[in-house]
Amino acid sequence: MSNIRNAFYLLSIWIMGDISKAKAQDYIRYNMSYVEQVLKEEKAKYHISNYREYSVISLVEGRDTAQWKFDVNNICVEYTLSIDKAKYTEIKGHMEHISQRIMENVYVNRKEKTITYIKKENGVLYVNTKNFDPTGSAPPIMFTENN
């Protein structure tokens, strides 16, 4: 098994195994150093990009990618996953189990205060999770084109 898929197994929605062990989305609102520590413990090869208004930790292997985006305070505000040859129906079933579907391929988890967008394009599954305040305005409807 590749490094990135090992990391995905422990840190994200693992497509090939027990989907209930999803972890990466749990790192929303965690500090960057914590996510980096977990990646180091798993001996995952990752890259950190620093920009003026945010930072990104990226895991890339082949067409599989995981990215955690951090704000200026180094708090995780967004998580994006793309996996080649992923099982869309398994992800969709998992999302319906842990979240409330608000429209096709858009799910809100009120307990975790996150919103997740999923889509499958050219055989690649994309999962994008962000912070969401369920007491505020309606969630931004995006990342759902080409479904």
Let me know if residue 138 belongs to a domain. no
Let me know if residue 139 belongs to a domain. no
pLDDT in tens, the chain (147 residues): 444 444 444 344 433 334 444 455 568 888 999 989 988 887 888 899 999 999 999 987 777 788 899 999 999 998 888 877 666 777 777 777 778 888 888 888 888 888 888 888 887 888 888 887 767 665 555 544 444
Q: Is the pTM of this model over 0.85?
A: no
Let me know if residue 48 belongs to a domain. yes
Partners of residue 118 on adjacent β-strands:
127
User: So what's the pLDDT on residue 98?
Assistant: 76
Compute and round to an integer the Cα radius of gyration of the chain: 14
Let me know if residue 144 belongs to a domain. no
Record the tokens describing residue 41, joined without a space. 């413990």
Let me know if residue 115 belongs to a domain. yes
The DSSP element (H or E) to which 41 belongs, if any, is helix 32-41
Let me know if residue 34 belongs to a domain. yes
Let me know if residue 119 belongs to a domain. yes
Please state the domain count of the chain.
Answer: 1
Let me know if residue 140 belongs to a domain. no
What does residue 28 show for φ and ψ, rounded to 5 degrees?
-60, 135
Record the tokens describing residue 139, joined without a space. 């969630």
User: So what's the pLDDT on residue 1?
Assistant: 42
d(CA 35, CA 25): 11
Its domain, for residue 30, covers 3-131
User: So what's the pLDDT on residue 15?
Assistant: 36
User: So what's the pLDDT on residue 69?
Assistant: 94
